[in-house]
Amino acid sequence: MLKISDLNVYYGGIHALKGISLDVPENKIVTLIGANGAGKSTTLRSIMGLVKSSNGKVLYNEKEITNKRTKDIVTQGIVMVPEGRRVFPNLTVHENLTLGAFVRKDKEQIKKDMDWVYELFPRLKERDWQKAGTMSGGEQQMLSVGRALMSKPKLLMMDEPSLGLAPLIVKDIFNIIREIHKEGVTILLIEQNAKAALEIADYGYVLETGSIVLEGEGKELLNNDEVQKAYLGEAKK
């Protein structure tokens, strides 16, 4: 579905992505793990056209989308849930969700998708009148995911969805990711909580200072000594 080949990105004099290549097959959950500054967010931003790459290719369903306009990428079915939630604080829950469907014209289906989002996140339905800026961090994260779903993505990319959330809310978010995936949405997940990410991922990549240093099935990486030592806190006994 999504194929990245030899992608290089520079921020000024910093070589942020050093020729990375990865695949996201249709109907799979793929995760990208790594420390802060490894290049995870840059990878997503370059796919979305928010950061320009100097060379390399991004292919989506075998068509090149490298450095295309973000709006054109969204209309093809790729959507990102940004790090830090980025909800519109002065708009209500309902208005935030409605904005998620701004590229769509199918009013009947938009209503059905709104109902689906409220089913996934009952708390949003209870608070659809509330201004987003007055909600808790966990509620804003739910809203951010719901808003992305309103654009009817085929590929949903999530940047640190559990960041700064309480453990119980983190568990809810990962359960929701599973539910979204069951509906046929392909997911590319960036997550510092490596254990939680690898437990639900079909396949994973480990990124270090702009380079992919390891890849494999989620469970395989979860049991890898190097991954355990670097990202899970201890080496396998």
Kindly report, residue by residue over 64-119, the tens digit of the pLDDT: 999 899 989 998 999 998 887 789 999 999 999 999 888 778 888 899 999 999 99
Q: Which domain holds residue 197?
A: 1-77+153-237
Whether 73 and 184 map to the same domain: the answer is yes
- Examine the domain organization and report whether 230 and 131 are in the same domain: no
pLDDT of 181-217, one tens digit each?
999 999 999 988 889 899 999 999 999 999 999 999 9
pTM of this structure: 0.89
Residue 233: what pLDDT? Answer: 65
Shared domain for 165 and 68, answered yes or no, is yes
Specify whether 191 is located in the same domain as 206: yes
Q: In the chain, how many domains are there?
A: 2
230 and 164 share one domain: yes
Clarify whether residues 44 and 159 are in a common domain: yes
Q: Where are the beta strands (DSSP E) in the chain?
A: 2-11, 14-24, 29-33, 55-60, 63-64, 78-81, 155-159, 186-190, 203-208, 211-217
Query: Which of 102, 133, 150 marks a domain boundary?
Result: 150
- Together in a domain, 109 and 208: no
pLDDT at 170: 84
Give me the half-sphere count of Cα atoms (radius 13 Å) on the Cβ side of residue 122: 1
Mean pLDDT of 53-64: 93
Q: Are residues 198 and 144 in the same domain?
A: no
Which residue, 132, 150, 168, sits at the end of a domain? Answer: 150
3-state secondary structure of 190: strand
Q: What is the CATH number of the domain that holds 175?
A: 3.40.50.300
